[in-house]
Structure formats: C-alpha cells, structure tokens
C-alpha cells in the first residue's frame, strides 16, 4: 500500500479518518477551504505523481457544495499526475433523479455521472445507490458496494422474536426479500402511492405483521414521511415493535421530529453521511460504521483483486 494515498473532502472527514485507520495509512495532507464568496479552493500538500489516489467524498448536504468540492479535488489530482484516481462516494447525491418520469425534466443522476467522469475520475466506488441503473450512467468502472452485511449483523445480533422484514414500497422489495431470506424471517410490503415530491400516501400492508417485530428496510431516510406513515400503518395492523434500518441517514427537514413522534422504536443507519446533531443526541438512533467495508474495497482495488467478494 506504499503507492496508495487516501484524501478526504469536507463532507465526512470522520469516515475518511476511520477508513485510513483500517488501512494503517495516514490521511493525505491537503488544504480545502472556501473564499468569502463561497468558491471552493483546494491544494494538495504532498507529491502524488504516479500514486493510486482515493478521494472520499459523499455528496450529501450541502449537496452542490460537496459535489463541487469533489470535482475540484479530482481536477487537482489529475493535473498533479496522479497514477489513478478513484472517487469513493459513500452517498451519491441526485440519485433519485435517475429517469425521465415527467415531461421536460432532466436525468440529473446521469448529468452528475458525466461531471465526475469529465473531471478526470478513473474509477468510482459507491455504496447502496438508490437505483442500480446509475452504474450504467458511467463510462468508467464502478464498484457498487452494499451496506447490508453491517446492517444484517446488527439485526441478527438483536435476536428479535417473530421477525418480519418490511419493504416501505414496491421498489424496495428485492432489498427486503434479501434481508428476509438471510434472517429466515417473513416478508411484508407496504403499497404506497406518491402524490408529490417528498410526499407519499400509504395505502395497504401486504403480509402478516400482527403481533410481530417489524424491521423496515430502505436505502435512505430523507424527510421520513414515507417511513413514519409506514410505521403508522404497521401499528394500525397490529405490529408489536417497529425498527427501521437504512444505509443513508439523509434526515432533511423535519425528519428527526417526525421520527421522535412516531411509533418507531429504533433507527439503525450507517455513517455514509454524518448524523445530524438532533439525531446523534436522540436515543432512537444507532449509527453503524461502514469504514472497514470501504477499506477492504480500497485494498482490493489497489491490489487489482476482486471486489465482488465483498458483495452480499
């Protein structure tokens, strides 16, 4: 690993430091700041010529600022003759805009992929993309990791009785089914009708949830409107306990307040995104680390060995 260096943006420096600890590497030295008008400025403070560079930067809130930081950092490494540049993007912003579902709208997930590629990235390491098709938006190799090994271990260790895995919508059935199979649990689906952006109306619960411990599985929690309405429906159907697990705790707007006032007992999320202060101080939230998983992927990419062994 002597020709491998890891650098971090401002989006999640704690995760980057933890990844480096698992790699037994020092985090690369650089200077990343902003001018008074908001422009980002980046300078690499060590030689990276011919080095295998990994830039860790989730494009979480503030999404546009963190995305621009990533692009600027990549451009600096390209102009400094880095041997290979891998963008490690634990959370991919704009992932929900992955198709043209209305007239005259952009496919922003593809636009962001083009920007990252044109900036000079040679490879992308992502985690739990909102839609698998985003991998195909890139013209460069993409290693798509899943946080499910970390989340599954937590749920299994809790030994919940009468366990039912719940998908909050039809789109998440495959993910929920994989959890149910590995935990030897039942599967339930919430039929949801979305009536507007960030607004969803829950309709029906398909499956047996009465008297059972329901674990709702999703890739992200944003405003928590879907999650809390799902929890309400499950409770009305007789669910005894409700737990939610997700990879990306976006938690925008009134999400934390909604969760605090809901029948959800526990929210389990990973550290692809830093927890908001209100969530970090709440006993309802548990955050698990994916740093070791990312570190193992970085080692395999650097050594040109298979990354697929990390897939679940």
Question: Do the strands 30-34 and 40-44 form a parallel or antiparallel pair, or are they unpaired?
Answer: antiparallel
Long-range contacts of 136-141 (CB under 8 A, 24+ apart): 137/98, 137/109, 137/110, 137/113, 138/113
The pLDDT assigned to 106 comes to: 96
Residue range 6-12: mean pLDDT, rounded: 98
Among 191, 187, 149, CA closest to 290: 149
The residue-averaged pLDDT of 149-169 equals: 96
Q: How many CB atoms lie within 10 A of CB 252?
A: 14
Mean pLDDT of 267-290: 96
Q: What percent of the chain has pLDDT over 90?
A: 90
The catalytic position among 5, 192, 232, 284 is 192
Higher pLDDT, 248 or 172: 248
Other residues' Cβ atoms within 10 Å of the Cβ of residue 162: 16
**pLDDT per residue over 94-106, tens digit each?**
999 999 989 999 9
How many other C-beta atoms can be found within 10 angstroms of the C-beta atom of residue 139? 10
Q: At what angle do helices 173-183 and 148-158 cross, to 10 degrees?
A: 50
If pLDDT is split at 50, 70 and 90, which confidence band does 75 have? very high
The pLDDT of residue 278 is above 90: yes
What pLDDT, on a 0 to 100 scale, did the predictor assign at position 212? 97
Which pLDDT does position 233 carry in this prediction? 92
pLDDT score for 196:
64
Which DSSP letter does residue 141 get? -
> Does the pLDDT of residue 265 top 90, yes or no?
yes
Tokens encoding 90? 């634990």
Whether the predicted pLDDT of 200 surpasses 60: no
198 has a pLDDT exceeding 70: no
Determine whether 192 is an active site residue.
yes
Q: How far, in Å, CA of 149 to CA of 153, rounded?
A: 6
pLDDT value at position 218? 95
Residue 219 pLDDT > 70: yes
pTM, rounded to two decimals: 0.94
pLDDT band at residue 285 using 50, 70 and 90 as cut-offs: very high
Neighbours of 312 (CB within 10 A): 13
Residue 203: predicted pLDDT: 67
pLDDT of residue 156: 97
Q: Check residue 171 and give its pLDDT.
A: 85
The kind and range of the H/E element at 179 are helix 173-183
Nearest Cα residue to 75 out of 116, 37, 36: 116
Q: What are phi and psi of 174, to 5 degrees?
A: -60, -45
Residue carrying the six token digits 């993007």: 89
- Two tokens at 223? 């405003």
Average pLDDT over residues 50-70: 97
Q: Tell me what pLDDT residue 202 has.
A: 56
What mean pLDDT do residues 234-252 have? 96
Share of the chain above pLDDT 70, in %: 96
Cβ atoms within 10 Å of 195's Cβ, excluding its own: 8
The rounded mean pLDDT for the chain is 94
Task: Give me the mean pLDDT over the 195-211 stretch.
Answer: 76
The predicted-structure confidence for 102-145, as pLDDT tens digits, reads as follows 999 999 999 999 999 999 999 999 999 999 999 999 999 999 99
Q: Please measure the distance between the N-terminal and C-terminal CA atoms of the chain and give it in whole angstroms.
A: 26
């Amino acid at each position: 690993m002597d020709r491998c260096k890891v650098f971090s943006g401002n989006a999640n420096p704690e995760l980057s430091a933890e990844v480096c600890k698992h790699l037994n590497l020092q985090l690369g030295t650089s200077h990343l700041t902003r001018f008074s008008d908001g422009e980002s400025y980046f300078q690499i403070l060590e030689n990276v010529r011919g080095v295998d560079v990994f830039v860790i930067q989730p494009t979480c809130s503030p999404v546009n600022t963190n995305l621009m930081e990533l692009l600027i950092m990549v451009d600096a490494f390209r102009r400094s003759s880095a041997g290979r540049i891998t963008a490690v993007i634990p959370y991919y912003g704009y992932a929900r805009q992955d198709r043209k579902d209305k007239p005259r709208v952009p496919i922003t997930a593809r636009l962001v992929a083009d920007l990252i590629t044109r900036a000079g990235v040679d490879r992308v390491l992502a985690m739990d993309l909102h839609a698998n098709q985003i991998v195909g938006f890139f013209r460069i190799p993409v290693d798509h990791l899943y946080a499910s090994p970390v989340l599954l271990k937590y749920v299994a260790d809790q030994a919940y009785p009468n366990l039912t895995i719940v998908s909050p919508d039809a789109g998440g059935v495959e993910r929920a089914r994989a959890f149910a199979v590995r935990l030897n649990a039942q599967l339930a689906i919430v039929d949801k009708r979305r009536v507007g952006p960030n607004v969803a109306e829950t309709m029906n619960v398909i499956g047996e949830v009465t008297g059972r411990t329901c674990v709702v599985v999703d890739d992200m929690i944003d405003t928590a409107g879907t999650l809390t309405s799902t929890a309400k429906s499950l409770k009305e159907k007789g669910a005894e306990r409700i737990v939610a697990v997700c990879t990306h705790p976006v938690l925008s707007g009134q999400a934390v307040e909604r969760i605090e006032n809901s029948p959800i007992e526990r929210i389990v999320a990973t550290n692809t995104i830093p927890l908001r202060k209100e969530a970090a101080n709440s006993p309802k939230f548990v955050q698990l680390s994916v740093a070791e998983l990312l570190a193992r992927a970085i080692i395999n990419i650097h050594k040109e060995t298979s990354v697929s062994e990390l897939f679940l």
